[in-house]
Structure 1
Amino acid sequence: MTADTVGGVWSYALELCRQLCSRGVRVELATMGAPLSPAQWREARALPGLTVHKSTWRLEWMDAPWDDVRAAGEWLLELEARLSPDVVHLNGYCHGAWPFRAPVLVVAHSCVLSWWEAVKHEPAPARYARYRDEVAKGLHAASVVVAPTRAMLDAVTRHYGALPSARVIPNARDAQAFAPAVKERFVLAAGRLWDEAKNLAALEAAAPQLPFPVYVAGDATSPGGSERATTRSTRPLGHLPPPVLADWMARASVYALPARYEPFGLSALEAALAGCALVLGDIPSLREVWGDAARFVPPDDPRALARTLRLLMNPSSEREALAARGRQRALTFTPGRMAEAYLELYAGLVRPERRVS
């Protein structure tokens, strides 16, 4: 299994690995994108049956990645030759077209073309032509493609063509890691603050209109340093280790994610488990996941965002009812359910009796 270390894919991968290992599946995890943080190492080392193979090859969505993508592909083929896995589970696209001997499962977590369309409201520019071609090759060569929402699967099909075999498997988080606590009067947001898709600008514009603080947790600078978020009205917390972020979620009354683009929204799931009322961007994927268990606002309407946040803070009964619906919905996205769905797919590809790489 591959995993990048710079976003939500890491949380998804470790949650799935935890479940697979507990069921006796040996997992070889190949990491890319950046060195593992001390917190990530602690998570990985806590899982018996998981072996980490580390690298720092640039990811396919990063600037000028292609030399690294080629080198990473050669490295992955070497790992497969040495480890002889039953299934190759790729949490990226391009390597799906490489000549692995085992069946290949590709997971569509996000993509540049759908990101650009949602965030910039226009097609991705011509400089992403090679990205488009390489991703399409990987998707169409894969034995099966998985997406966390129907909205994301539809986006992949729209941009790269119909897929011969595809399935939706929602992401999941362990509820025990996100227990609610006594709620305090503040709003929390978390994620890659530099990513325009997360829409920190809307929170920055809404915060001065609110009589309570808005805290934002996450990296303000992109991995390559080309993008940087500036916080003036919100209160930055920086990058927080998972247990510390879970504590902030446990105390937050409301979690705000006015996203322009979010194929699933793992942080919203974590916040809902922690008892936060959810205020989310009104986009198809988040509607699909949350239904009537969240409040939705147009991503480009900071006034509507501020108005909704104020309404939820007063009176508390409405906020508590929304938080209760959100937590009830979140509890349906269990890691065990996710793992069983993947094991069913693995079994359909080949007998899963040795290990997943």
Structure 2
Amino acid sequence: MPVSAAHVLMSADALGGVWPYTVDLAKGLGRSGFRVTVALMGPAPAPEIIAAAEAGTGARISITGLPLDWLADSAGSVTEAAEALARLAHEVAADLVHLHSPALAVAVFDVPVVAVCHSCVTTWWAACGSGPLPEDLAWRGALVARGCRTADALLAPTFAFAEATRAAYGLAEPPHVVRNGRRSSFHAAVGEPAQHAFTAGRLWDAGKNTALLDRVAARIRWPIRAAGPVEGPNGERLAAGHLRLLGRLDDAGIARELARRPVFVSLARYEPFGLAVLEAADAGCALVLSDIPTFRELWDGAALFVPPEEEAAASAIASLADEPGLRAALGAAARARASDYGVAAMVEGVSAVFRGLLAGQPARRLSEAAA
């Protein structure tokens, strides 16, 4: 069997950016000849979304009901979920497993395992918390550390986050970097851009720093529209008095918002990549971003960067409102940069890792995994 015809079992999380990443990657892998089964963990999206994803990717999507590592109530339940994935990989005769979290690599798989470092509690806490990891996060971080050491390959979407992961878990080497990508869905912009700012994402997540953006909205004449949930699965909640909340929008809804080319703002304190920023850039939106390492790596020269302060962020948005030429130039620069982060490059980067493992690098020995 050719390596490119291998069967890949991919785990997935439908609550955030892992889902569009999975859909785009599965479609690209299918076009490259791989067979893909997606093991969807945690809360599942609506049946019509699952059906559309299967039709669009050619992958089989299995709704497992297994708990997500970041929502699980104990280390044992994560380990059991990982073991269930290992059994599923055996049942479907997978040739390789692609995990959306290193925490799931703690089980013994009898095929090579690639784990993607999309985000993790340890690096999140380093950016958003203070002091030692709380007990409820510490055991999660310990599982990620174990998984990082047992996976056959680790991937990360940026060099900055790869290094943060290496430092957080004391790894000998950082994960291999494969940039995330998103399919382009916008044509050349026409007409005048919208006279407002926009943000999108998990608004409840402290890492997104949406509470600061809400305060910024009280200081500027432009409205700031915000798409995404304000309540998290563990009771987190954003109390916003100045943002114009749009609720959770589907892909078409987000596309309609971005097609108007508002100024896109993210004041995130923690963002390993930022698919929402990429989608906004692809639409030709001028970007105002927090000055964090991942954003600098991806968007330096194509965005306005601000420290996480009300006055600085408000001033940056106001400058784009007052200077349409600057806004147009930044929007064009963002769109040009977005072309560097396409799905084809992402699929080829991941496929190259798969080919290396399947063609020559043996899966780790069971005794090593057990140790």
| TM-score, normalised relative to structure 1 | 0.93
Aligned counterpart, 2:3: none
1:129: how far off?
Answer: 2.8
Answer whether contact 2:98 2:113 (CA < 8 A) is retained.
yes
Equivalent in 98, 106, 118 of residue 89 of structure 1: 98
Q: Is the 8 A contact 1:194 1:221 kept in 2?
A: yes
Q: Which residue of 2 aligns with 1:26?
A: 35
Greater RCO between the two (CA within 8 Å, min separation 6)? 1
Task: Give, in whole Å, the separation in 2 of the partners of 1:178 and 1:59.
Answer: 37
Which residue, 96, 109, 119 being the options, matches 1:110? 119
Matched to 1:188, the amino acid is F
Within 2, Cα distance between the matches of 1:38 and 1:126? 36
Count of residues in Structure 1 that have an aligned counterpart in Structure 2: 350
Equivalent residue for 2:176? Answer: 167
> Which residues of 2 match residues 67-86 of structure 1 at below 5 A?
67-86=76-95
Aligned match of 1:3? 12
Q: Shift in Å at residue 163 of structure 1?
A: 4.2
- Percentage of identical aligned residues: 37
Cα displacement string for residues 138-176 of structure 1 (whole angstroms, at most 9, x for unaligned residues): 000011100001111111111111245731011001112
1:246 maps to what in 2?
255
- 1:195-227 residue CA offsets vs partner (Å, 9 max, x unmatched): 011111111111121111100000111123x10
Alignment equivalent of 1:310, drawn from 304, 307, 318: 318
SS in structure 1 at match of 2:300 = helix
- Is 2:166–2:174's contact at 8 Å kept on the other side of the alignment? no
> CA separation of 1:272/1:109 partners in 2, compared to 1, >3 Å: closer, same or farther?
same
Root-mean-square deviation over aligned CA pairs: 1.8
Structure 1 residue 320 and structure 2 residue 320: aligned? no
- What letter is aligned with 2:259? A
Decide whether the 8 Å contact of 1:6 with 1:223 is kept in 2. no
| CA distance, structure 2, for counterparts of residue 114 and residue 188 of structure 1 | 26
Conserved 8 A contact 2:23-2:57: no
Structure 1 residue identity aligned to 2:338 = A
What's the counterpart of residue 337 of structure 2?
Answer: 329
Q: Distance in 2 between matches of 1:324 and 1:48?
A: 31
Matches within 5 A, 1:278-293: 278-293=287-302
Question: Is the contact between residue 75 and residue 143 of structure 2 (CA under 8 Å) also seen in structure 1?
Answer: no
Distance 1:251 1:48, change over 3 A: closer
CA contact 2:116–2:155 (8 Å) conserved in 1: yes
Instruction: Tell me, in whole angstroms, the C-alpha distance in 1 between the residues paired with 2:173 and 2:109.
Output: 18
Structure 2 CA distance for aligned equivalents of residues 113 and 53 of structure 1: 29
Structure 2: gaps (5+ residues): 1-9, 361-371
Alpha carbons of 1:163 and 1:57: their partners in 2 closer, same or farther (altered >3 Å)?
farther
CA distance in 1, matches of 2:113, 2:132: 29
Measure how far apart 1:90 and its partner are: 0.4
**How far did 1:310 drift?**
0.3
